[in-house]
Amino acid sequence: GRGRARLREVFESDDPTGQLQAAWEAKEQLRTLLASGALEEARDHLRILEGLVEAAPTVETKRLLRTVKRWWNEIEVLITTGATTAKVEANNTAIKNIKRTGRGFRNPDNYRSRILLRSAAQTAA
């Protein structure tokens, strides 16, 4: 589409080293990998990602590949079960926001109450 054509223009005119395009291709390959429906398909996409990183080894793409390999067991669980920790991570972020906006709770009971109140409000909504 139009977006891809524009992206190609940017790569051709503003990416003389090819690093930006390499990072984008690796990111897109990761998205494809995470959307896999089966483990064998995901492993195939991992091999493609490894090839992309080998062909254009930037700091960012190498870091991305290391992270994917480090988290591979969790990625396999995601692909086979569809289960993620998104809700837990969202709650942790909300708790951090409560702590930040409270500007330092000195009373642990008040802190706990604020967290529980926020949780109850989310559950009721």
Q: Per-residue pLDDT for the chain (125 aa), expressed as one digit of tens each?
A: 888 899 999 999 999 988 899 999 999 999 999 999 999 999 999 999 999 999 988 999 999 999 999 999 999 999 999 888 888 888 889 888 887 777 767 788 888 888 888 778 777 66
Distance CA(77)–CA(106), nearest Å, equals 40
The residue written with tokens 């089966």 in the block is: 38
- Total residues found in the chain within this entry: 125
Who contacts 111 (Cβ-Cβ below 8 Å, separation ≥6)? 98, 99, 102, 105
Q: Helices (DSSP H) in 15-71: which residue ranges?
A: 19-34, 39-55, 59-70
pLDDT attached to residue 85: 82
pLDDT attached to residue 44: 98
Nearest to 31 by CA among 49, 6, 16, 51: 49
Distance CA(20)–CA(33), nearest Å, equals 20
Distance CA(15)–CA(22), nearest Å, equals 10
pLDDT attached to residue 125: 61
pLDDT attached to residue 91: 86
- Tokens at 110, concatenated: 């008040």
* Amino acid residing at 23: A
